[in-house]
Structure formats: structure tokens, C-alpha cells
């Protein structure tokens, strides 16, 4: 918004030169989102507690292990959603279609999660919206976003997927790109949701992935850097670095309240929206497969659930003591901080491997 307001002044306004730099605006977006999160956090936590009352926020199969967390309000992801949205609108170029696409996915998925969390807060159960209803809504938003991306993207890339580790190798999916992109967004959204089970576990890997995709968006949107690294050049994607920066700042602000012992849980409002926007940015920048590496922790958590369910249905036996994977290690006797910090380390390692593909192609 500031960029668009000051742009007509051009060089006559000396400070506008600063606003021309994505790096400057990204830094401002990080700090703005962080400050907003700090400012609204205490009041929002008090409001959520007042709304929750005696409603349960702990899944039935975890009530014994996580009994001490009973009463901790959920839906804290709302502070992340508000912080990122305001910061992005303030610092990004609002004439950029990709910014609006990413915001639409984030807010849309966040509203789905909000509906789910609100039912959990106001009703005496932890089920929320039905899984089918959430999935239909996610697919609908993902479909709109995909068609919009295909309309805006260069014709030479709007049906294509880049293959990591190979220079200038693209897979033309044709119209199959539509279900592919929808699956990436919906899958990323639900993968983050599955990972969100321990204090601070999901928010740090989200921040790491957002930082990585901020860099990727900046490079993909720059003709010189993309040519040097031999990665797809998608004009306009650099503005997504602003949103990624805002997400990093908001994530750090939320972690202040979500660090063990958590004062608030992000709930589906946070996990669905953050996962969804990461998926959208991966589709826009043509780095969907790289997301699977950078967000490998989310993939591992999702796969653990799939393997557990498939094994039990086919053989009647469980592979893990409990799924998702973080609960398996809890059952093995690892303390919650140990699980969280070790999973953070894994997230950092996978992110570095994912970023290495930018040069190895």
C-alpha cells in the first residue's frame, strides 16, 4: 500500500528510492508483522480464553498425556493471519496478482480453520467441522487459485513443473496441472495441520520454509539471478518475498506465546492458512517439488499417518506407537521439548538440502 501510494511521487520523493528495494520492504514487513503480533497477542489470548470456557481442546486419545494443557485456548493462528495480512497490504505492491493470489489462499484457508476452531472453542467437543466439508472448501479455494495462477503466469510455464537437480528441465502436465496444483496447496495445508501437535513444533518449520520461499521468490522473479541459477524466471514473483517476510515475523511473534508451555495453540486457523500459502507460493514459483524437500518434516508427519492407517487396516498392526510421528517419540519416552527441538533441527537440515537444489540444477 505504501509502495503504491508513494510510486506516483517517483524520484521527487527522496525516500521512495528505499521503497523500490524488495529487500528493504521485506525487512519492514518482518518487523511490522512481529510488532503487530506482540501488540495484539495478550488481548487476543484473553479473548480466546473467555470464548473457550470449559470446552475441550485436546483430542480424546491425547487427554491423558496432555491433560496439563487443558484450558489452553486454540485459534491463536488468528494473530498470525492478521499480522501477515496487514503487513503484506502495507509493504507489498498491490498491483501484483501473485500477492493477491497468495493472500486469497491464506485468508481463505484461514477462514476454514477459523470455522473449525470456533466450534471447538464454543462447543464442548474437539471435533469442529467435518473433514469432508473442510476438504471441499480447501479444494474449491485451491482450484480458484490455480486457474488464476495459470492465467497470470507466462504461457511457456503455466502448465509446467520444474524438476529439482536438473537444469532447465520442466515437465509439461497440460491440464493435469490443475489437479496437481490443487493437491500441492491442499496437501501442504493439511500436512502443517498434522504437524501441529506439540508446543512450538509447527511454527518454527513454517518460518524456516517461509524464509526459504522468500529467497526463492526473490530469485525466480529476478531475470539475472534466475538465469545464473538456471531456474524458471517468473516475472512478478519477487513481491511474494514481502509476504514470506511477514510470515516469518508473525511466526516469531506467535512463537513468543506458543513456546513451551504454550499460552495459546495456533489451531486450524493457523496451520491450514500457513500450509496453504506455502503450497500456493510453491506453485507460483514452480518449486512444488522443492517444497516437498524444504517442508520435508511436514511430509514425514503426513506419511507416518498414511502408513499407520494403511498398516492397521491391512494387517491389524500399527507401525508406530502413535501417529503423527511426533507422538510416536512421545510414547517412546522423549520429553516434549526434546521432540520439538530435534524436529526443528531436522527442518533446518531439510531446508538447506532444498535450497541447494537452486544451484545444483
Torsion on CA atoms 231, 193, 268, 260, rounded to nearest 10? -110
Q: Which three cell numbers stand for residue 54?
A: 470449559
Q: Residue for cell digits 491440464?
A: 175
Residue 193 annotated as part of some ligand binding site: yes
Q: Residue for cell digits 501510494?
A: 5
First to last CA, the chain: 36
Residue 268 annotated as part of some ligand binding site: yes
Cα–Cα dist 316/145, whole Å? 40
Contact 70, 106 (CB under 8 A): no
Query: Closest by alpha carbon to 83, among 50, 62, 110, 49?
Result: 110
C-alpha R_g of the chain: 20
- CB neighbours (10 Å) of residue 24? 13
Binding residues: 193, 268
Binding residues for Mg(2+): 193, 268
Amino acid at each position: 500500500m505504501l509502495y503504491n501510494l508513494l510510486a506516483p511521487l517517483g524520484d521527487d520523493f527522496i525516500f521512495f528510492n528505499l521503497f523500490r528495494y524488495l529487500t528493504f520492504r521485506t525487512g519492514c514487513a518482518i518487523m511490522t508483522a512481529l510488532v503487530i503480533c506482540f501488540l495484539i497477542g495478550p488481548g487476543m489470548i484473553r479473548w480466546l480464553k473467555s470464548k473457550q470456557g470449559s470446552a475441550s481442546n485436546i483430542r480424546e486419545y491425547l487427554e491423558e498425556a496432555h491433560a496439563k494443557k487443558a484450558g489452553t485456548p486454540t485459534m491463536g493462528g488468528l494473530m498470525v493471519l492478521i499480522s501477515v495480512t496487514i503487513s503484506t497490504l502495507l509493504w507489498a505492491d498491490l498491483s501484483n496478482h501473485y500477492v493477491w493470489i497468495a493472500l486469497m489462499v491464506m485468508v481463505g484457508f484461514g477462514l476454514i480453520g477459523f470455522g473449525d476452531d470456533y466450534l471447538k472453542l464454543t462447543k464442548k467437543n474437539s471435533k469442529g467441522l467435518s473433514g469432508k466439508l473442510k476438504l471441499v472448501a480447501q479444494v474449491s479455494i485451491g482450484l480458484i487459485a490455480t486457474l488464476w495462477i495459470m492465467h497470470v503466469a507466462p504461457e511457456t510455464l503455466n502448465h509446467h513443473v520444474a524438476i529439482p537437480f536438473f537444469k532447465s528441465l520442466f515437465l509439461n502436465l497440460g491440464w493435469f496441472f490443475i489437479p496437481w496444483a490443487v493437491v500441492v496447496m491442499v496437501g501442504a495445508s493439511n500436512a502443517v495441520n498434522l504437524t501441529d501437535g506439540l508446543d512450538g513444533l509447527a511454527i518454527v518449520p513454517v518460518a524456516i520454509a517461509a524464509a526459504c520461499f522468500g529467497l526463492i521468490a526473490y530469485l525466480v522473479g529476478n531475470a539475472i539471478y534466475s538465469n545464473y541459477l538456471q531456474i524458471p524466471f517468473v516475472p512478478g514473483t519477487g513481491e511474494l518475498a514481502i509476504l514470506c517476510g511477514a510470515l516469518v515475523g508473525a511466526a516469531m511473534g506467535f512463537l513468543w506465546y506458543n513456546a513451551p508451555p504454550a499460552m495459546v495453540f495456533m489451531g486450524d486457523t493457523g496451520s491450514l492458512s500457513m500450509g496453504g500459502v506455502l503450497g500456493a507460493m510453491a506453485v507460483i514459483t514452480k518449486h512444488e517439488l522443492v517444497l516437498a524437500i524444504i517442508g520435508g518434516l511436514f511430509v514425514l508427519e503426513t506419511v507416518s499417518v498414511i502408513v499407520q492407517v494403511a498398516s492397521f487396516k491391512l494387517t491389524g498392526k500399527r507401525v508406530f506407537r502413535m501417529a503423527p510421528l511426533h507422538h510416536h517419540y512421545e510414547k517412546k519416552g522423549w520429553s516434549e521439548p526434546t521432540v520439538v527441538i530435534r524436529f526443528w533441527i531436522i527442518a533446518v537440515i531439510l531446508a538447506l538440502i532444498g535450497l541447494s537444489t537452486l544451484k545444483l540444477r
